[in-house]
Amino acid sequence: MLNRRRFLTLSSLTALSPDLFALSPDRAAPAPLVVSTWNQPKANAAAEAVLKQGKRALDAVEAGVRVPEADPNDTSVGYGGLPDRDGRVTLDACIMDEKGNAGSVTYLENIMHPISVARAVMEKTPHVMLSGEGALAFALSQGFKKEKLLTASSEKAWREWLKTAKYEPKVNIERHDTIGMLAIDSKGDLSGACTTSGLAYKMNGRVGDSPIIGAGLFVDNEIGGACATGLGELVMRTCGSFLVVELMRQGRTPQQACEEAAKRIVGKQEYKDIQVGFLAVNRQGQVGAYSIQPGFNYTVSQNGLTQVLEAKSFLNK
Ligand code: SD4
């Protein structure tokens, strides 16, 4: 359960910065830390509970992102996700551990927890990514159950959309909950996870950045981790999360690295109506976040304190 007194809301905290969180000297392990894209205190609480048991960051990020995956009211992840234009809920997810191992599923249907299937791909197959029917067959072979993920309200929203069938992903301007999560455990090791149902009313077959290692997520235990949210096409074209980690490797802080990666997109693409947000943490426990449009927030939890913070952005309100 989230400790209410320790959970501070965005409205009371926009003035605070992530530097509030402990920054340990180089190479010393910071206190266990969980960060996630968007307003995800429940997911962070689930991840923190796992870290408290002394488990790996990998276990924490998996447990954390399973929370929105199972939430029927979260319309951009897992169960309850808005469908593609043909009415199919197709899920993308990936996971990466402290050893650089990675697993991913794309275009997965009828499985509530794609992140756990991605982990199984990482741990039980010689591959990194499984897709579509093959991913589903693998999931079933591992004991995952087939479930209907299209909820009545998401189906209703889709049928409403069909009346005009106008595809205009005004990302972020609507609420987005695709979750990218990064965690540092008590040993100082890092892992990350990212999971989504992708853009509402996308073309059938479309896969976004979220399950692509280096685009939606990248972790290098020596340096730090990064994840992305927003219009995946722009993140994929710039290998966004890999870029953020590489910039940190070259000496940028997580904040500077996120800003540089977002500005690369702005320099090359039409960005006026679209959103991309990056979130990063380095292995010293410093956190950074930046987006193109205002309105991207992220959740940071450490030492039992959870904050939802608004990222700085390229465009102002
Ligand atoms: C995608 N990046 O499929 C995802 C969507 C997203 O917040 O992050 N929404 O392109």
pLDDT by residue (tens digit) across 191-241? 999 999 999 999 999 999 999 999 999 999 999 999 999 999 999 999 999
Question: Which two three-digit tokens encode residue 87?
Answer: 């009415």
Q: Are 150 and 87 in contact (CB under 8 A)?
A: yes
Nearest partner of 141 among 152, 154, 130, 151, judged by Cα: 130
Residue 177 lies in a domain: yes
Q: Which domain holds residue 79?
A: 28-313
Residue 1 lies in a domain: no
Catalytic residue among 178, 196, 238, 299: 178
Indicate which CATH number applies to the domain containing 206.
3.60.20.30
Atom of ligand 1 nearest to the CA of 207: 3
Tens-digit pLDDT profile for residues 17-51: 444 444 444 446 789 999 999 999 999 999 999 99
Nearest partner of 242 among 105, 102, 48, judged by Cα: 102
Residue 8 lies in a domain: no
Residue 13 lies in a domain: no
**Which one of 91, 107, 171 would you pick to mutate in the ligand 1 pocket, going by the greatest count of ligand atoms within 8 A of its CB?**
171
Residue 270 lies in a domain: yes
Cα separation, 130 vs 47, whole angstroms:
25
Residue 18 lies in a domain: no
Triad 187, 251, 312: Cα angle to 5°:
90
Residue 9 lies in a domain: no
Global pTM reads 0.91
Q: Whose CA is nearest to atom 10 of ligand 1?
A: 232
Query: How is 122-141 classified by DSSP, letter by letter?
Result: HHHSS-SEEEHHHHHHHHHH
Residue 121 lies in a domain: yes
Give me the number of domains the chain comprises.
1
